[in-house]
Structure 1
Amino acid sequence: MADTQPKPLTSAAIAPEHHIAPQGTPLWLYITGGIVALISLALMGIVLLSGRSGANTVTFSASTEEATMAIAAAPIASPSPVLKAVEHANMGDLVEARILRGHTMPVRALALSPDGQLLVSGGGDGLIRLWEASTGVALRALEGHGSGVTALALSADGQILASGGVDEVVRIWDIATRTEIRTITGFEAAITALALTANGDMVIIADKSGRLQIWDTTTGELLHAVDAEQGAIISLVLSPDETLIASAGDDGTIRLWDTLTAEPVRILQGHSRTPSQLAFSPDSTILAAGGVDRIIYLWDMTSGQLLTTLNGHQAAITGLNFTSDGDLLLSTDESGAMYIWQPSAETPLLRTIENDVTPILSFTASLDGARLATANQDTTISIWEVASTTTP
C-alpha cells in the first residue's frame, strides 16, 4: 500500500511564471512543521504550499522537530510579523506526552533544563527526583532535605541545581555527579524561592521571613542580605541579563533589586492580590506577574509602568513562562488549564488547553517552549509536548 502520510518539506522552488510578487520584490519562503508559506512583502499575500518542486530547487536546513524556519531573499534580519502569524496559525497542539509517578506527596517545585532534556522535581515528601524528560525515565532521587522541598533552580547549562525547603536549608548539587557540593544554613524561615545565575556561581534566596540573600555558591560566602520589607517573599526571578532581581511579597508589591549590590531599584504597585508568579521576557525588558487575582500584569522594566493586563484565567495563576523569542507567554492555573498568549496581538489569547483531571500546582518550560512540565495536585507530573501539524 502506498504511503500517503505527508512528508516534511525541506526545499521549495518557484517557476518564474508562478511568481506571486512583481519581479525584484522581496519574497519570503517560510518552512515550519511541514508547512511552506510564500509571502509577498509587497502584496502582503500568503500562499500555503505542500510538496511543490521544480528544477531550480533551493534547499534550506529545517529541523521539523524544532519547527525552525528558513527564509529566502529576505533583506531584513528579523522575522516579520507576517511570518510569526503563519507560525502561530500552524503551531501544533500541546499534547500530554507522558505522566511521571514517584512522589508520594504533591510536587511543589519543578525545574527543566533549557534544552528540555532534564526535569527536576521537588515534593512534599522531601525528595528531589531527576527525570529524563523525553522518555519519563526516573534517573535518581536526591535525598537530604528533612521535609518538603519548596523551591528549585537550575543553572543555564543544567549542571548546578539549588534546592530549598521547609527545613530552612538550601542545598547546592552537582548534576553530573548527583552529589551535594554545598549546604547553606542560617535562615529564619522556610525557603520560598530560588534563582541561579547562568553559570551557577551565585544563588539568590528568599524565605518566609521576608529576607533576600545572595550567596556565592563556589566559596559559600554570603554576599548580600536585605530585608525586602514586603512581608513574606512568595516568588523571585532573576532577569536573563542578570542585572535585576524581582521579588513578590505578600503585601502585594513587586520589588526590583540590583543584582550586584542588592540595592532597591523600583517598587511595582497595582496588583489587587499577591502576585505569586513572575517571569522575565528573554530580553529582560518586560516582567510578567500573576497570582490569585487571575490577571497577568506586564510591566516595562525601563519605565516601571504597567504596559497591559491579560485576562482570561478562571483560577489562581500557578505558572508563567516566556518562549525564547519573547513573542509568546505560557501560563497555568489551579483549574488545570494552560493558556498560550501573544501579548503584542490585538487578541492576545491564542489558545486554551483544558485539563479537567487535577489542579496544576507548578509549571516550567524548556527555552523553546516545545516541552512543558506541570506538577499536579494528585502527586503526578505531566510532560506536555508540541505536536507539529502538517498539511497533506
Structure 2
Amino acid sequence: MDKPVGTDLEEATSMTLESILELSAKETLSDYVTMIAWSPIGDTLAAASGSGEVRLLKNFVSLSLCQPTGQSIDALAFSFNGKWLAAGGQDGIITLWQMNEDVPKIVDTLECGSWVDRLVWHPTCNHLAFNCGKTVQIWDADLDEAVTNLTGIASPQDIRWSPDGKHLAIAIKSNVHFWSNQDWSVPRYQWELTAPASAIAWSPDGALLACAIHDHSIGVLNWSKAQHLQREPIDENDMPTIMRGFPGKIRQLAWADLPPSADLPPILAAATCELVTMWMQSPEGWDSWVLDLHSDTVLDVAFQPKTGWLASLSEDGWIILWQAALKSAQVLEGAEAGFSCLAWHPTGLHLAAGGQQGELLVWSTGADR
C-alpha cells in the first residue's frame, strides 16, 4: 500500500507546514474522557467522563453540568441547531439539557432500562435516535414524545442517520438495516455482513456507507444505488465492496469532508492497531496507503471539515495532523497516559481531544488566534 505521490488531494490541501494549531484551552475532568462533542452554534464544547461527569467549555470557560456519579457517560451529542444536548450511559438514563439559556437546564430524563451507548441526532430536526433496552427509540425533543420504537433490536453496534435525514442505518449483529423516515414499520433494505459490525459511517454526500466488520475487513455499500433495489441485493454488481487484510480490529472510520471545488473521489480513513489505513475510490476500485508514525493503538481519526487534513489520535500520547492524509505536518501532545477521543469544531477552527487521565485540550488554528 504505497502512498500516492503528487495526487490532486495534496494539491487541494496545499498550505504551509509550520505550526498549524496552538493550544487555546485546557481543563481536567475527574476520570477518563469517554466522549466529546462540539455544538454547531458558537464555541461550546461538551465532554463526559468515565465517572459520569459532564462538563461544558463555553467560549473556553468551564461550566459543570453533571458532577461525577460513579457511572460512565458513553454517548454525548448536540442537536443540529445546538438547542439540545443529550447524554446517556451506564445508568440507563438519557439526560436532555436545553442550551438556549445562559445556564443550560435539564428539561427531560428518559429511562431506557439498560446501558445507553449509542445516541445520534437527526441532521435537520430535533429527533434523537438511541438504544433503549431491546428497541431503538426515536424521540422528538421539541414535542417531548416518542416518534417510534423499532422493536427487536437488542444491543445495536451503531446507529447513524443519513446526511439528508431520510434514512436511519442500524448495525445489528451481522446485518445493517436501513429504515425510511416515511415508513418505520419494516426496514427498507438489509445488508448482510460476513461478521458483526463495530462501526458504520456515511460519506458526507450520503452516497456510500462504510462498515467496520469484526473479521478485520471493511465493507462499503453504494447506497445511492442500493436504495432503489429490493430489500436485499441480488445482482453481483450491486454487492458491497469488501476491503480485507487489516492487521486487527478497526476502531474508527472517517470520510473526508472535501469542498466541491476539490473535485476528488471519496476518501476513507480507518484506525487499526498502530496504523491509519487510507482508501480512495478509483475507476479500478479502491487505492490504499498506510500512515504509520504512531507507536501504540490508534483510537480515533477525524478529517478537518472542508479540507483534506486528517487528525489521528493514539494511546501513545500523540495526535498527528496529516496534510492531505499523506504526510505528517504537526504532532500534538498533552495526555501523559494517552489520548482517548477527538473532535473538530464544525468550522474546522478548533480541535478538541480528551485524555485517559481526564485531560481536555483544545487547539485553535491561526485563523482564530
Taking structure 2 as the reference length, what is the TM-score of the superposition? 0.69
Equivalent in the alignment of 1:213: 177
The SS at the match of 1:125 is: coil
Q: What is the deviation of 1:240? A: 1.3
- Does residue 248 of structure 2 align to residue 273 of structure 1? yes
Q: Separation in 2 of the partners of 1:330 and 1:134?
A: 33
Equivalent in the alignment of 1:195: 160
1:143 to 110, 120, 129: 110
Q: Are 1:160 and 1:172, in contact at CA under 8 Å, matched by a contact in 2?
A: yes
Q: Separation in 2 of the partners of 1:280 and 1:298?
A: 10
- Does residue 189 of structure 2 align to residue 224 of structure 1? yes
- Does residue 84 of structure 2 align to residue 109 of structure 1? no
**Closer/same/farther in 2, CA of residues 90 and 373 from structure 1, 3 Å limit:** closer
Q: Are 1:246 and 1:255, in contact at CA under 8 Å, matched by a contact in 2?
A: yes
Equivalent in the alignment of 2:347: 368
Q: What is the deviation of 1:276? A: 2.0
Q: Are 2:118 and 2:131, in contact at CA under 8 Å, matched by a contact in 1?
A: yes
**Closer/same/farther in 2, CA of residues 157 and 295 from structure 1, 3 Å limit:** same
| Count of residue pairs the alignment pairs up | 306
Q: Are 2:166 and 2:180, in contact at CA under 8 Å, matched by a contact in 1?
A: yes
Q: Separation in 2 of the partners of 1:138 and 1:377?
A: 28
1:155 to 102, 122, 128: 122
Let me know the Cα RMSD of the aligned residues. 3.8
Give the alignment of 1:21-36 within 5 angstroms: none
Give the alignment of 1:5-20 within 5 angstroms: none
- Does residue 209 of structure 2 align to residue 239 of structure 1? no
Q: Are 2:157 and 2:198, in contact at CA under 8 Å, matched by a contact in 1?
A: yes
Higher strand share: 2
- Does residue 276 of structure 2 align to residue 296 of structure 1? yes
**Closer/same/farther in 2, CA of residues 169 and 192 from structure 1, 3 Å limit:** same
Q: Are 1:182 and 1:220, in contact at CA under 8 Å, matched by a contact in 2?
A: yes
- Percent identity of paired positions between Structure 1 and Structure 2: 21
Q: Separation in 1 of the partners of 2:352 and 2:268?
A: 21
The SS at the match of 2:157 is: strand
Q: Which has the higher contact order (CA 8 A, sep 6+)?
A: 2
CA offsets per residue over residues 246-289 of structure 1, 9 Å max, x none?
11111001011132146432101121112121111124610111
Q: Are 1:358 and 1:377, in contact at CA under 8 Å, matched by a contact in 2?
A: yes
Q: Are 1:117 and 1:134, in contact at CA under 8 Å, matched by a contact in 2?
A: no
Q: What is the deviation of 1:183? A: 1.4
Equivalent in the alignment of 1:351: 331
Q: Are 1:126 and 1:148, in contact at CA under 8 Å, matched by a contact in 2?
A: yes
Q: Separation in 2 of the partners of 1:251 and 1:296?
A: 17
Q: Separation in 1 of the partners of 2:268 and 2:12?
A: 25
Larger Rg: 1
**Closer/same/farther in 2, CA of residues 117 and 106 from structure 1, 3 Å limit:** same
Q: Are 1:160 and 1:200, in contact at CA under 8 Å, matched by a contact in 2?
A: no
Equivalent in the alignment of 1:121: 87
The SS at the match of 2:15 is: helix
**Closer/same/farther in 2, CA of residues 289 and 344 from structure 1, 3 Å limit:** closer
Q: What is the deviation of 1:358? A: 7.0
Q: Separation in 2 of the partners of 1:272 and 1:226?
A: 24
Runs of 5+ in structure 1 lacking a partner?
1-79
Q: Are 2:252 and 2:301, in contact at CA under 8 Å, matched by a contact in 1?
A: yes
